[in-house]
Amino acid sequence: MSKIIAHVEHREGLRIESLDFAYGESLILRGIDLAVQAGEFLALLGPSGSGKSTLLRLLAGLERPTSGRLTAAGDPIDGPGTERAVVFQHYALFPWMTVADNVAEAVHKAHPGLARSERRARARAHLERVGLGEAAGRYPFELSGGMQQRAAIARALALESPFLLMDEPFGALDPVNRAKLQDLLLAVWQGSSPRPTLVFVTHGIDEALLLADRVAVMGANPGRIIRDYPVPFARPRERVALYQDPGFQRLREEIAETLDADTLTRLDANPEAGFHAANQGARYV
């Protein structure tokens, strides 16, 4: 498989500078410095307890840093905003609304002046993009988990945000539906013009290397970025061919060794962490 560095666009993206975050006396994140270029797909990869989801919540404006600075397109992040769409692991659809109405609500936030008929037409178009056109009139409880997550992605796309933040969005799905939604996400992101800047939280090395332009590896206790890996594989990526590529296998092993080394360092510093930390490596798949 040929190797190229993925192209990213020359617009301002996300920037994190000297960020610390604590809950009371517990330091969760320490010394985070990270820049995400506009149009780039960044994966945040790390074990449980490394602060991946907390960092995403900070980028979403759902938490405030203890110290440091966050910006989106050069503007300070000081709270939630429609320019930063978020997709959580647990769908978060309004259960009393149909799928179409859930998405139409996001269209309304992006375009408050649109007539109701136009909002619904745009909602239907977003649902078609994720293969849910026929489910527009159904309620969330009538959908499978994979279909609910498709609806959540459609709702995020309906905001037309330049930044898309995704917190382990496929973590609760079975392997078949996870693969389908990974392919869907890539198709939608690669087909957008301009592409949104995407930050994707995962604990899976394979998922990170399949999806992302770059992987920021996080260590735990406290959370911090320990390595930053460019992903040099050409797009579009075909799963089977990629996984068989020797370059993919070498990079996968290098990232796994980085995570294992951080785990061992923490065990040496705190032997009582023991079994839980030692077995984090089993989740990096």
50 found inside a domain = yes
Can you give the pLDDT at residue 40? 97
143 found inside a domain = yes
68 found inside a domain = yes
Number of domains in the chain: 2
Place of tokens 């797009």: 235
For 271, residues 6+ apart whose C-beta sits below 8 A from its C-beta are none
Question: In 3D, which of 185, 203, 164 has the Cα closest to residue 40?
Answer: 164
Question: In 3D, which of 171, 176, 131, 138 has the Cα closest to residue 154?
Answer: 131
What is the arrangement of strands in the sheet containing 84-87, beginning at the earlier edge strand? 84-87, 163-167, 197-202, 41-45, 214-219, 224-230
19 found inside a domain = yes
Res 6 pLDDT > 90: no
Beta strands in the chain (DSSP E): 14-23, 26-36, 41-45, 67-72, 75-76, 84-87, 163-167, 197-202, 214-219, 224-230
For 276, residues 6+ apart whose C-beta sits below 8 A from its C-beta are none
pTM metric for this prediction: 0.88
Res 253 pLDDT > 90: yes
282 found inside a domain = no
CATH number at residue 57: 3.40.50.300
Instruction: Name the average pLDDT for the chain.
Output: 89
Instruction: Locate 10 and state its tokens.
Output: 């020359």
User: Which residue range forms the structural domain that includes residue 50?
Assistant: 11-83+166-270
> How far apart are the C-alpha atoms of 39 and 64, rounded to whole Å?
25
Does 194 lie in the same domain as 69? Answer: yes
Can you give the pLDDT at residue 52? 96
Does 259 lie in the same domain as 131? Answer: no
Region 34-56 average pLDDT = 95
Summarised one tens digit per residue, pLDDT across range 72-99 is 999 999 999 999 999 988 878 999 999 9
Does 181 lie in the same domain as 136? Answer: no
Out of 138, 160, 182, a domain closes at 160
Res 2 pLDDT > 60: no
88 found inside a domain = no
Residue 216's identity, in one-letter code, is: A
Q: What is the DSSP letter of 233?
A: B
Residue 277: which pLDDT band, with cuts at 50, 70 and 90?
A: very low
For 130, residues 6+ apart whose C-beta sits below 8 A from its C-beta are 150, 151, 153, 154, 157, 184, 188
From the number of C-beta atoms within 10 Å of its C-beta (0-12, 13-18, 19+), residue 66 rates as: middle
Does 122 lie in the same domain as 103? Answer: yes
Out of 103, 135, 160, a domain closes at 160
> How far apart are the C-alpha atoms of 275 and 245, rounded to whole Å?
33
Can you give the pLDDT at residue 218? 97
